[in-house]
Structures are given as structure tokens and as C-alpha cells.
Structure 1
Amino acid sequence: MILALISSNSRREIAAFGKVNFRDKNIIFGFGAATASFVFFFTLGYASRVLLPFFKKPISWKILEIFIGFLMMFLAFLLLFSKI
């Protein structure tokens, strides 16, 4: 049952993505992807230096793991109860 839901949802997303046409805008798309990648990794490196003192404490990791757990549960419920 779950496999059928996952399979049908991915087919719908692939079909929707297949309608997007980037043939005329390949250079712009590539530039945007490269820029987004650079900004993401630059921010990740800078944030790691700034947050280093905070994450030296073990309680900080527990708070982060709890936050990520709640976020994943929230997203799972959104997907479970969505009417797509």
C-alpha cells in the first residue's frame, strides 16, 4: 500500500517536471545553479565557524536532533494528509 502511494506520487512529480522546458535557457539555468551552490556552501562554511562555540555543548546536539525530528514528523503529516 505504501509503495503504491510513493510510486504514484513520484510519477506525478516527474510528469509535472517533464513539462518544464529549459532548452532556450540552459546558460541562465546553469549560472543560477552554480550561483546557488556557491552561496549555499559559502554560507555553510561561515555558519559552521559562527556556531562552533554553540555546538561544543552536548545539549545543543540534542536540541538540534529534536528540532529535526519534529520537522520531519511535521513534513510527514503534511504529505500524509495532503490532497494531491
Structure 2
Amino acid sequence: MNEQSTALVTGGTSGIGRATAFALAEQGHEVIVHGRDAARGAETVKAIEDRGGRARFVAANLADPADVAALAADVGAVDVLVNNAG
């Protein structure tokens, strides 16, 4: 996988989203983990980094259009999008 590729996983702090974030990191993507709980986000990012991956957390309420706009501005372009939130 290209080291510059970026994946955004919404709902990435638990369950299927978290497992997907781990899998994408293992494939070489930089993973942007999305969620609403900063503590769970930090824990997920740390777990990915502890396994040699690259990740960061972004918080947003996807039911709020202003949060979605801020998320898009913060994240920028992504190569892989996993819409898992909800």
C-alpha cells in the first residue's frame, strides 16, 4: 500500500469500525479514526500506533451539519472512506 494513502473510518472507536481501522492500518494506510468520544478515540489511536500503524482521531457529531463541515475541512482528501457510524 502507498505510504501516503489515508483512510477515514467513521464510527471507528468500537466494534466493526475499530476492527476496520486496525485492518486498514495493518495494510499501510494512515487511519483517521472518527468518533464522538475523545477518550475512546485516543485509546484506539494508541492501540494502532502500538502495533506500528499511523493514526489520528477526529471528533464530530455526524448528525450536525456544522460538525460534518468541520470534519471535512480538518480531514481533507482521503483515499479510502468507510462510512460505519450509526
Q: Which has the higher contact order (CA 8 A, sep 6+)?
A: 2
Query: As a proportion of its length, which structure holds more helix?
Result: 1
Normalised by the length of structure 2, the TM-score is: 0.22
Query: As a proportion of its length, which structure holds more strand?
Result: 2
Larger Rg over CA atoms: 1
Normalised by the length of structure 1, the TM-score is: 0.22
